[in-house]
Amino acid sequence: MADAQKTILKLILSLPSPVLRAMSGGGVVYKGGRTLDPRFQFFAHAAKKLPPMSSLSPAEAVAGSARGLAAVQGPLEPGVRTESLSIEGPNGAIPCRAYRPENQDSAAPLIVYAHMGGGVIGDLETCHAFCSVLARIVRTAVISVDYRLAPDHKFPAGLEDVLAAYRWARDNTARFGAASAPPAIGGDSMGGNFAAIVAQEMKRTGEPQPAAQILIYPAVDVASETPSMTTYADAYPLTRATMDWFMGHYMGADADPADPRVSPDKTEDLTGLAPAVIATAGFDPLVDQGEAYAKRLKAAGVPVLYRCYDSLAHGFTAFTGAIPAADSACREIAGLVKETFDQWVD
């Protein structure tokens, strides 16, 4: 049944843009100077018939998100093989998955990647297709981290798992045929939050900087208001209400939203951090803060490649099998990572 539904969905999404827009409540969706991709518009319209995530329990949200993403995610890239891993973390084993391309470049650094999900939902499947895109285009191994989730494991549990996985990967690059340089650290949304914090934490502890930081629509400031939080407050799939729901589960009663280990943009000194690839989505409450962090890094002398995909929405890395523009963006981001490695990594 799942395959049949996926086939029907693919046929619908192949319809001309005007038809898709007509099926999605009418005309073009235009906000903040941006026009939403018609396929994202279709999904946003369909989602109005479902209960909002903020009305669900975490368990219901985990299950519902997994079902939804399974229908829109692309396949594993050809020529990329996977391996299940178990890394010892601060609170037991951390499940991980390694991606190895057949044409791997032994001079390219390893990439450690953390999935999206607000620290509450998501798993290794959430970023499965995108990690394989990274592996194939950058021609390096990628390790995806299945970190602990709130509310059972509140801040800083997930962050501690990603830090532990990063340090383990740094000590085991040879096992994956990667360069001996420190790995790159990457992630999308909350995973981007973790990636930014890992780079900052390496500086705080005097450890080598990652080869690069890959921040895709990152949540870097949960303590401040920006115009995009209002303009795109009702965007699909990340609404302002959903953001509040995530943080309500992620942070304990004693957590400070302005703590740099929650909001890395609150760190005053950004000098000396790893070269960054930062990508944002136009229809996203987080778009302003991702752009602002890119500008702050540049001002601090950090090499930055920044792209905003104006027509796309938050979470687009998981839509590569349903939205051609999302697939193209993911491949461009992987190309930017390779460009960063070629230019800045010895």
Cite the active site residues.
189, 284, 314
Return all residues near 242 (Cβ < 8 A) that are at least 6 apart: 52, 53, 54, 118
- Chain centroid to Cα 110, Å, comes to 17
Q: Helix H segments across 233-323?
A: 240-250, 287-299
Q: Which of 62, 64, 61, 26 is nearest to 42 (CA)?
A: 26
Tokens of 167: 């340090």
* H-helix or E-strand spanning residue 144: strand 142-145
3-state secondary structure 31-47: ECCEECCHHHHHHHHHH
Task: Using DSSP bridges, classify how beta strands 142-145 and 184-188 pair: parallel, antiparallel or unpaired.
Answer: unpaired
* H-helix or E-strand spanning residue 338: helix 324-344
Residue carrying structure tokens 């299945």? 146
Indicate the SS3 state at residue 185.
Answer: strand
First-residue to last-residue Cα distance in the chain: 50
- Cα–Cα distance measured from residue 341 to residue 346, given in angstroms and rounded to the nearest whole number: 8
Tokens of 194: 């973790």
DSSP for residue 167 = H
CB 215: neighbour CB atoms within 10 A?
32
Residue carrying structure tokens 């909001």? 263
Q: What share of the chain is helix, strand, coil (3-state, %, to 5)?
A: 45, 15, 40
The amino acid occupying position 197 is I
- Cα–Cα distance measured from residue 303 to residue 340, given in angstroms and rounded to the nearest whole number: 9
